[in-house]
Amino acid sequence: MEIIILSKEIVKPSKPTPPNLRNHKLGIIEQLVFELCISPIFFYKNNKPLSEINNTDIADSRLRSSLSETLTLFHPLAGELSSKDPTSVDCNDKGVLYVEARVKGVSLDEFLQNPNLSQLINFLPQNGSMGSKMNYVQTLETLVSLQVTRFDCGGMAIGGVLFHKLLDGSTMSKFFKTWAKIARGDDGGVEKTAPLDFTSASLQFPTQNLPQTFLKKWNMLFFNEGKSLVRRFVFDARAIESIKTKVSSENVPHPTRVEALTTFIWKHMALATRRVKGISSTPSMVTHIVNLRSRIEPQCLNAFGNLIFIAMSDVIEMTKLDLPHLVGLVRKMFENMNGENLKVLGGDNAIDFLVDIATQVGKLLPNNLDTYKFTSWCNLGLYDVDFGWGKPIFVAPFIDTIGSLNNKQQIILVENGKNDGIEAWILRNNEEIFELENDEEFLAFASPNPSVHAY
C-alpha cells in the first residue's frame, strides 16, 4: 500500500480567539499526563454513485472550512504550549496541520478484509522528521494534526494525532463529533453547539509544584521497556454475555461489559505472563484510566481537557486466578473513584497523595509486579462521527510500538459499532502476545483480528 501526499496546510480558527481566552490554564492532571498522543482513525465507505467518486472538491472544501469553524470552539487545540509557563497554553491561533492524501494499490474493502495493523500509521499525518517516531512530541508541528486519506474506490479515512496533555478521550470524541456536526450542517453549526467548559478542570484540580524527580518516577511506574507487539481481538455480543456470566459473583451479580472484559483479559494476560516467566504465581494488578466528569462533585460533563485519573486495583498473588474474585477487585477499583476520594487530588495534600501512590507501587516493582494497564474508548460515541456521508464502518486506535516513552503495555477497549461487540487492542511484549494467541480458552471468546466485514 502506497500513500501519496497531495497537500499540506495549516488550518486556523475561522475567528480570532478573544483576548480573555488566549491563555488556557492546565491543571495537575495535565501535569501527570505523559507526553503522548491520542491517535484515532475513522474509516468511511463510499455511499455515492461511481460517477461522483472523483468529484471530491466540494467535500474537501467543506471539511477544511468546518474544521476552521470547529477550532473557534476548541481554541486551545489551535495554540501551542507556553514557552514561559509549562502549565498553560498560548491560544494564539497558530492552527492545526491538515494533510490530504490518496491511497494507491488497495481499496478500502481490501484493507478492511484483512486489516494490517502495522499500516495504520499511513493514515496519520507525518512530517518529514516523524518517520517511525510517531509519538515523539518534539516532532509535532502543531498540537493537533489531521489527515484525510481517500481510496480510489471512494472510501475515506480521517486520522488524527492529538497531544494528550491538552485533552483526553472524552474531549477527543467531542472534538470529532463537533467537527462532523458542523461539516454536515446540522443545527445551525457553531451557533447552536453547546459551549465547552474550559475552567472546571484546572479549578477542581489546580496545578502543583511537582518536582521533576517525582514526575520521572511517576512516568517509570507506568511505562516499560522491551520489544512489543500490538494485536486486535474482537469480542462479539454473545461472547461478552458469556464472559459476564462466567465472571459474575454474589458480590457482583451484574458486571458491566467493561468490568467483565477487564477481568477476563486480566486473568489470561496473567496466565501468559506466568508461562513466559516459568513460574506458577506472581503479584499482579490492573489499572484503568477513568473519566472523572460524572464522578466528581459538582459534575463537569462538558469540561474540556483532561479529567481522568488512574484507578488501581488491589495487588493479588494467587496460584489460581478466580474470575469471580477478580471481578470483585475490578468493581472495587472503579467504586473507589468517587467524589469523596478524589477531593484529595484537588486539595493541599495532592502531592502527598501522589507520592504515597508512587511509593506503594514502587515498593512492589522489585518483586516482579505485573501491571495490566487498561483504557476504554467505549461509550464515547466514536461511531457517531458522521461528516455527512454516513457513520464510520471502522474506528481504530493507532498504538505506537516504538514510542518515545516506551509505552509497552496497554490495552484499549473500543466498541466495534455494529453488534454491541468490543475490540481489545493489546500492546504487550512479544513472548506474552505469543502465549495469548495460543490460549484456547481465551480464543474461545476472542476472535484475532477478523475482517471488519465479518461482523
Catalytic entry in 109, 384, 386, 420 = 386
- b/e sequence 29-43, b meaning 16+ C-beta within 10 Å: bbbbbbbbbbbbbbb
DSSP state of 198: S
Please say if 356 is a catalytic residue: no
Phi, psi dihedrals of residue 35, rounded to the nearest 5°: -80, 70
2-11, 64-73, 268-277, 393-402: range with lowest mean pLDDT: 393-402
Report the DSSP beta bridge partners of residue 281: none
Who's near 302: CB < 8 A, 6+ residues apart? 194, 195, 196, 197
Q: What mean pLDDT do residues 77-92 have?
A: 94
Q: Using alpha carbons, select from 223, 234, 231, 290 the residue that is nearest to residue 261.
A: 234
CA dihedral 159, 164, 166, 171 (to 10 degrees): 60
Report the DSSP beta bridge partners of residue 90: 23, 80
Q: What mean pLDDT do residues 275-287 have?
A: 89
pLDDT at 444: 98
Q: Using alpha carbons, select from 374, 364, 381 the residue that is nearest to residue 410.
A: 374
Cell of 26: 492546565
Q: Using alpha carbons, select from 395, 398, 385 the residue that is nearest to residue 63.
A: 385
Let me know if 180 is exposed, middle or buried by CB neighbors in 10 A (0-12, 13-18, 19+): buried
Higher-confidence residue of 195 and 252: namely 252
In terms of residues, how long is the chain? 455
Catalytic entry in 24, 75, 164, 288 = 164
Cell of 411: 490495552
pLDDT at 35: 77
Other Cβ atoms within 10 Å of 212 Cβ, number: 7
Q: What is the pLDDT of residues 119-171, one digit of tens each?
A: 999 999 964 334 344 444 446 789 999 999 999 989 999 999 999 999 999 99
Please say if 164 is a catalytic residue: yes
pLDDT at 320: 75
Q: What is the pLDDT of residues 352-383, one digit of tens each?
A: 999 888 887 777 665 678 889 999 999 999 99
Mean pLDDT of the chain: 88
What is the Cα 355 distance to its own chain's centre? 26
pTM above 0.85, yes or no: yes
Q: What is the pLDDT of residues 194-246, one digit of tens each?
A: 689 999 999 999 999 888 888 877 877 766 656 789 999 999 999 999 999 99
